[in-house]
Amino acid sequence: MSTGGARPIVTVQQHILEHQRQFPHASGEFSWLLSGITLATKIIAAQVQRAGIVDVLGATGEVNVQGEVVQKLDTLANETIHRCLGYRGNVGIVVSEEDDEPRVIHEAGDKGKYIVLFDPLDGSSNIDVNVSIGTIFSILRVRDDVPRSEVINQVLQPGLEQLAAGYVVYGSSVVMAYTTGAGVHMFTLDPSIGAFVLTREYVTMPLKGKTYSINEAYWHTFPKGIQGFLEWAKSEEAGGYSLRYVGSLVADFHRTLLKGGVFLYPPTRKDPKGKLRLLYEANPMAMLAEQAGGMATDGTRRILEKPPQALHERTPLILGSRSEVEKVLSFWKP
């Protein structure tokens, strides 16, 4: 479809269907699954944009499995994604950062061949101050070598097994980035037609970048190697690095993906195993980073090779431009 001399309009679903030969898991069925995710994120985007008008700001008074205060929009986003995926017919298991346990879609039966993991509202502590937040998702295939009744073992797959991963950032515009293992592609929600339309194909992360993204308030609790990198980044030798930190992984990664640089969430004395969730945050972002030419590591190994041991396992995370990640590792050797 095109309008006059303007560029053709390509939606997410069209993009997958038109690239089936390149994408090993793309099909009409996979497009149907992804449409559930895009529908959910459009609903969430509408609620985020109306947050100051309707009563969705503030906390619910509950604490989730992560020990974090649950925001009203957290709950809304979580249930919206569950509802939109529960009727796809090909989704067998849905796993959320907000839930204690996976939800099995019994109605799907043997046709439920996909597992969808997600962080429904990343950066939700920023909701009340109108800072960019987002949704992160990861898609796995139900394993044939593990009984369907062993739900936890079905879910605990390393990041290398991901069929697809992506995120949506709710900012000045609503942007979706996803990969099926054949490059990273970016779409922007066009409110005039209610669809995510293609804006960038085969996004490449710059090899280098002059920004680092970290919460330096915890500097005194970081490992010596991370402190050493930060001291170097501020030195004349480094040539003028800038600190850019939003506090929402989606927003910080989105900038790093487009502009280059490095994002760091190392271990601290309070969180010696790191703070970000391996399954819902680190794995999908690592897949996106690598597909765009970047790197993602926990300091000792590639994130995508880490075998998960628990649903809500946490991990240190260093990801971004290849040159910048390697520079961090030259200082930090856990």
Number of H helices, E strands in the chain: 8, 17
How do residues 56-70 score in pLDDT, each as one tens digit?
A: 444 444 555 555 555
How do residues 100-131 score in pLDDT, each as one tens digit?
A: 999 999 888 888 899 999 999 998 777 767 77
How do residues 11-61 score in pLDDT, each as one tens digit?
A: 888 888 777 655 555 566 788 888 899 999 999 998 887 765 444 444 444
Q: Clarify whether residues 80 and 133 are in a common domain.
A: yes
Question: How many domains are there within the chain?
Answer: 2
Q: Within a domain: residue 230?
A: yes
Q: Clarify whether residues 18 and 167 are in a common domain.
A: yes
Structure-block tokens of residue 56: 């969705």
Number of residues written out for the chain: 334
- Residue 240: strand pairing partners: none
Q: Which of 200, 233, 253 is the last residue of a domain?
A: 200
| Confidence (pLDDT) at 63 | 53
* Owning domain of residue 69: 12-200
Q: Within a domain: residue 223?
A: yes
Q: Clarify whether residues 190 and 254 are in a common domain.
A: no
Q: Clarify whether residues 317 and 242 are in a common domain.
A: yes
**What is the distance between the alpha carbons of residues 258 and 205, in angstroms, rounded to a whole number?**
6
Nearest CA to 40 out of 92, 94, 109, 102 is that of: 94
Q: Which of 200, 219, 250 is the last residue of a domain?
A: 200
Average confidence (pLDDT) over 321-326: 97
Q: Clarify whether residues 53 and 176 are in a common domain.
A: yes
| Confidence (pLDDT) at 61 | 46
| Confidence (pLDDT) at 269 | 93
Q: Which of 200, 235, 254 is the last residue of a domain?
A: 200
- 185: domain CATH number is 3.30.540.10
Q: Clarify whether residues 98 and 186 are in a common domain.
A: yes
Q: Clarify whether residues 195 and 218 are in a common domain.
A: no
Position 5 pLDDT exceeds 90:
no
Spatial CB neighbours of 143, under 8 Å, sequence gap ≥ 6: 153, 154, 157
Q: Clarify whether residues 131 and 219 are in a common domain.
A: no
Q: Clarify whether residues 89 and 176 are in a common domain.
A: yes
* Spatial contact of 288 and 134, defined as CB atoms under 8 Å apart: no
| Confidence (pLDDT) at 198 | 96
| Confidence (pLDDT) at 240 | 86
Q: Within a domain: residue 7?
A: no
Position 4 pLDDT exceeds 60:
no
How do residues 131-143 score in pLDDT, each as one tens digit?
A: 789 999 999 999 9
pTM of the model: 0.91
Q: Clarify whether residues 178 and 293 are in a common domain.
A: no
How far CA 63 is from CA of 67, 98, 99, 176, in Å, comes to: 6, 9, 11, 29
